[in-house]
Amino acid sequence: MAHISASVFTSHVPAIGAALDLGKLAEPYWQPVFAGYDFSKQWMKDNKPDVIFLVYNDHATAFSLEMIPTFAIGCADEFRPADEGWGPRPVPMVKGHPDLASHIAQSVIQDDFDLTIVNKMDVDHGLTVPLSLMCGQPQEWPCPVIPFAVNVVQYPVPSGRRCYNLGKAIRKAVESYDQPLNVHIWGTGGMSHQLQGPRAGLINREWDNAFLDRLIADPEGQAGVPHIDYVREAGSEGIELVMWLIARGAMSDNPPKVRHRFYHVPASNTAVGHLILENT
């Protein structure tokens, strides 16, 4: 049977993608950001999964106000890096895993979570920047990726509790797949940031770090935090963090092993947070 062995959590700042693509890695502003992922790139090589289930949000790229799925699972063979206004990022095509994705859709929908099935979708910085941070600049991504898009852009957004319980349903789905696959689940987006309005530029280090503590040690408690707390404390785009609860909910009920933890400000308008948790 398939199993989930680890989860990865990371911010997805678009300027990080631009810094990589334009060869600015060694610049003093970016160097400390990328240094936080040196361990992670080696860890990815040492712990290469068979499939990554990548929870992220689309930023009005594949979807728009015309269509707003709360949860969308990518079941296609492949997904193109999106053109977000400056041409597509020069990164590999994302290969999917239609068979496992369809199995997860079947299981999770029968478990009462209404997913939108997507058979054609371009993937934006929400998905490609985490892959770049964890894998560097390879010719091909190391394994197939199942994109799982969550609406955190247009209200109403799903609650932390719903995300956490959905993660548990995804775990059950993966564990009932009839192939011995090693699956990693990633939760991406965040940490504190606000891109517009009078509070633009908001960063809340204390809240971010308390979130990381709680995500590790008390995800049940964190799942009960209402979305308005995220918005007030972590900014309007800080709500992206609820997606991390999907990946956390998919981990085993035993306390996880923390393999890596990183937090850095500044990176564009965002606090960068990053965790690698292994199942024990």
193 is a catalytic site residue: yes
Residue type present at position 86: W
**268 is a site residue for ligand DHB (CB under 6 A):** yes
103 is a catalytic site residue: no
Question: For residue 236, what is the DSSP state?
Answer: G
Nearest distance from C-beta of residue 101 to ligand DHB, angstroms:
24
**Which residue is catalytic, options 125, 184, 227, 274?**
125
**CB atoms near residue 22 (< 10 Å):** 9
| β-pair partners for 257 | 278
Kindly tell me which residue out of 270, 274, 275, 276 binds ligand DHB, with binding defined by CB under 6 A: 270
Return the SS3 of 7. Answer: strand
Kindly tell me which residue out of 59, 89, 184, 274 binds ligand DHB, with binding defined by CB under 6 A: 59
Cβ–Cβ < 8 Å for 125, 195: no
- Which of 140-148, 176-184, 241-249, 268-276 is the region at the interface with ligand DHB (rule: CB under 6 A)? 268-276
The helix/strand count (H/E) of the chain reads as 10, 10
**269 is a site residue for ligand DHB (CB under 6 A):** yes
CA 71/CA 155 separation, integer angstroms: 13
Tell which positions 224-263 bind ligand DHB, by CB under 6 A: 237
CB nearer to ligand DHB: give 208 or 237.
Answer: 237
Nearest distance from C-beta of residue 280 to ligand DHB, angstroms:
31
Q: Which of 68, 49, 148 is nearest to 105 (CA)?
A: 148
Tell which positions 3-22 bind ligand DHB, by CB under 6 A: 12-15
Question: How would you classify the pairing of strands 3-10 and 145-150?
Answer: unpaired
Omega of the bond leading into 191 within 30 degrees of 0 (cis) = yes
> Mask of contacts with ligand DHB, 180-209, x by CB under 6 A?
-------------x-x--------------
CA 42/CA 64 separation, integer angstroms: 37
Nearest distance from C-beta of residue 257 to ligand DHB, angstroms:
28
CA 178/CA 239 separation, integer angstroms: 35
- Which of 41-49, 61-69, 78-86, 266-274 is the region at the interface with ligand DHB (rule: CB under 6 A)? 266-274
Please identify every residue annotated as catalytic.
Answer: 125, 193
Binding site for ligand DHB (CB under 6 A): 12-15, 59, 193, 195, 237, 268-270
